[in-house]
Amino acid sequence: MSNNRARRAIVIGGSLGGLMSANLLLQAGWDVEIFERSGEDLANRGAGIGTHEELFCVLKRIGIDIDPTIGVPVSGRHCLDASGQVVAYWPAPRTMSAWARLYRPLKERFPSTRYHFGMRLVAIEPVVDGVTAVFADGTRHRADLLVGADGFGSTVRSFFSTQASPSYAGYVGWRGLVNEWEMPVDFHRKMFEHYFFCLPEGEIMLCFPVPGKDHSVIPGKRAYTFVWYHPTEEHKGLADLCTDAKGVCHGSSIAPPLIRPDVVRQLRESAHAQMAPQMAQMVDLAPQPFFQAIYDLDSPSVVQGRVVLLGDAAFVARPHTGMGVTKAAIDAATLADALQADSDLDLALAQYGKRCGLFGSRAVARGRWCGAHLEAQSTKPRADRTAEELSHGSTIMVLREHGAKISDIADLAPLVQWLH
Ligand SMILES: Cc1cc2nc3c(=O)[nH]c(=O)nc-3n(C[C@H](O)[C@H](O)[C@H](O)COP(=O)(O)OP(=O)(O)OC[C@H]3O[C@@H](n4cnc5c(N)ncnc54)[C@H](O)[C@@H]3O)c2cc1C
């Protein structure tokens, strides 16, 4: 490579992980372009996002202000029993943000001429000191480095010689959202400012406030959301949830409008049978509940030649950690720092591989630990479950450990101190 040209990086995937990485590499003097499969702006994706201090550190580094509009603050978590009484409280200040609230400033900071929509990567060809990316429209782009930020179903990962495939955790996360202005007054007064858990045996449900439409945090314009982790056996249960009213099975996910009315009806009935009345009311109020199957992904390697994996393409930790976007941010900063610290590209990438791999596999292990009893519900007969798998552990432990601050997690805290 000549010494007087900027090193060139291609980022595959223009979601949060790809944008954070591309912004940091551009700041470091790289010639960067993003190629995103979707043909249109991604801002209307996603729902509530739990944040961590480390995510804010990376956003600040990119030049994004962290002001009160970043999200809705909550001060602690309450746990409700089946009758709706508060049985536990754990103080845990957090900020609940929204996917679009993070995407918008990241996208605005990155030059639009370098962000290409409607570009689906189909192949990667290694070349001397670099890589060529091949797209579905037949175009080819050469670079010194290719960053695979193309998410959980990563095409980039499929070109690795040793690769992990996602493994289903045995449960789904049902989700739903109600606009603040559409909440009944009494329900709003009792619920809105709070983060609630309900923990019937083998289930976890949470409700919390998030920014509203156009990521507004103005009172009256925010939203309230629920996540219900519900054991669902893979071959019959999940396949049935993903089968539409015409009998077509869509694999392991389905577009929300195609979810059958009888599936939603059953969800609402189960909520009334198992959950605190307030939580069941929340499921009733959400106009279009939808779900995501929960998977683990633990990659044995995130670097191959001049290709690296980042964010959900590399590791997926279960959402109990509330860490998906933060982990993508940490990966992006780890990569940018490794490249700045070592002018030898291959040595820098090896360093990235080591650090990203360690944090990622520990985050995945933590997600598995947080969800072990949920997993056991659909993968083991009751008689075979261990004591831990039969119960959630103590209620306070669940409130404390779900979405815990990274700085409070002994295994992870030392790995991210450099960011602060
Ligand atoms: C129930 C649930 C709750 C969650 N809650 C939280 C939370 O509270 N906090 C949190 O931080 N995270 C949470 N997450 C995780 C979070 O959504 C992800 O970790 C995060 O979005 C990962 O970002 P990413 O950029 O790595 O991948 P993605 O956001 O998946 O983006 C990948 C991009 O690559 C593009 N792409 C894919 N293939 C190609 C191709 N071949 N060519 C070109 N482009 C391609 C896609 O179109 C997409 O835009 C949750 C997840 C679930 C399931």
Residue to substitute in 15, 157, 253, 320 for testing ligand 1 pocket (most ligand atoms within 8 angstroms of CB): 15
SS3 label, residue 119: coil
Domain ranges for the chain: 8-65+101-166+295-391+405-419, 68-98+167-290
Q: Counting atoms of ligand 1 from 1, which one is nearest the CA of 173?
A: 1
**At residue 401, what is the residue type?**
E
Mean pLDDT value across the chain: 93
Alpha carbon nearest to ligand 1 atom 2, residue = 319
Contact 164, 309 (CB under 8 A): no
Count CB neighbours of 33 within 10 A.
21
Measured from the CB, is residue 407 less than 6 Å from ligand 1?
Answer: no
Closest CA to 37 of 126, 106, 116, 153: 116
CA distance 83 to 390: 21
User: Cα-Cα-Cα-Cα dihedral of 16, 97, 57, 358, to 10°?
Assistant: -60
Measured from the CB, is residue 203 less than 6 Å from ligand 1?
Answer: no
- By the 10 Å C-beta count (0-12 exposed, 13-18 middle, 19+ buried), 220 is classed as exposed
Measured from the CB, is residue 50 less than 6 Å from ligand 1?
Answer: yes
Q: Can you give the length of the chain in residues?
A: 420
- Does residue 39 have a pLDDT over 60? yes
Measured from the CB, is residue 17 less than 6 Å from ligand 1?
Answer: yes
Q: Using pLDDT thresholds of 50, 70 and 90, give the confidence band for residue 393.
A: confident
CA distance 267 to 205: 12
- Does residue 389 have a pLDDT over 80? no
Closest CA to 191 of 202, 180, 175: 180
Question: What pLDDT does 2 receive?
Answer: 44
Measured from the CB, is residue 403 less than 6 Å from ligand 1?
Answer: no
SS3 label, residue 98: strand
What distance lies between CA 46 and its chain's CA centroid? 9
Alpha carbon nearest to ligand 1 atom 17, residue = 324
Alpha carbon nearest to ligand 1 atom 52, residue = 319
Write the pLDDT tens digit of every residue in 120-152: 999 999 998 899 999 999 999 999 999 999 999
**How far, CA to CA in Å, does 188 sit from each of 174, 191, 223, 271, 281?**
21, 5, 10, 19, 11
Residue to substitute in 325, 334, 364, 370 for testing ligand 1 pocket (most ligand atoms within 8 angstroms of CB): 325
Q: How far is the CA of 151 from the centre of ligand 1 (A)?
A: 5
Question: What pLDDT does 46 receive?
Answer: 64
Q: What is the mean pLDDT of residues 110-114?
A: 98
CATH class of 68-98+167-290: alpha beta
Q: Using pLDDT thresholds of 50, 70 and 90, give the confidence band for residue 1.
A: very low
Alpha carbon nearest to ligand 1 atom 16, residue = 324
Q: How far is the CA of 18 from the centre of ligand 1 (A)?
A: 10
Write the pLDDT tens digit of every residue in 397-419: 999 998 899 999 999 999 999 99
Q: What is the mean pLDDT of residues 194-220?
A: 93
**At residue 367, what is the residue type?**
G
Measured from the CB, is residue 328 less than 6 Å from ligand 1?
Answer: yes
Looking at per-residue pLDDT, the higher value among 185 and 234 belongs to: 185
Measured from the CB, is residue 322 less than 6 Å from ligand 1?
Answer: yes
CA distance 272 to 399: 22
Write the pLDDT tens digit of every residue in 153-204: 999 999 998 878 899 999 999 999 999 999 999 999 999 999 999 999 889 9
CA distance 240 to 14: 32
**How far, CA to CA in Å, does 110 sit from each of 43, 45, 115?**
15, 19, 8
CATH number of 8-65+101-166+295-391+405-419: 3.50.50.60
Q: How far is the CA of 397 from the centre of ligand 1 (A)?
A: 28
- By the 10 Å C-beta count (0-12 exposed, 13-18 middle, 19+ buried), 131 is classed as buried
> At which residue do the structure tokens 């992904």 appear?
297
Count CB neighbours of 61 within 10 A.
18
**How far, CA to CA in Å, does 269 sit from each of 87, 191, 418?**
24, 21, 48
What phi and psi values does residue 273 have, to the nearest 5 degrees? Answer: -75, -30
Contact 317, 364 (CB under 8 A): yes
Tokens of 328: 């993508």
Tokens of 28: 């470091």
Contact 292, 227 (CB under 8 A): no
Closest CA to 120 of 106, 104, 107, 133: 133
- Does residue 112 have a pLDDT over 70? yes
Q: How far is the CA of 313 from the centre of ligand 1 (A)?
A: 8
Q: How far is the CA of 15 from the centre of ligand 1 (A)?
A: 7
Measured from the CB, is residue 37 less than 6 Å from ligand 1?
Answer: yes
Measured from the CB, is residue 12 less than 6 Å from ligand 1?
Answer: yes
CA distance 14 to 178: 28
Measured from the CB, is residue 314 less than 6 Å from ligand 1?
Answer: no
Q: How far is the CA of 99 from the centre of ligand 1 (A)?
A: 10
Closest CA to 149 of 30, 41, 11: 11
Alpha carbon nearest to ligand 1 atom 37, residue = 150
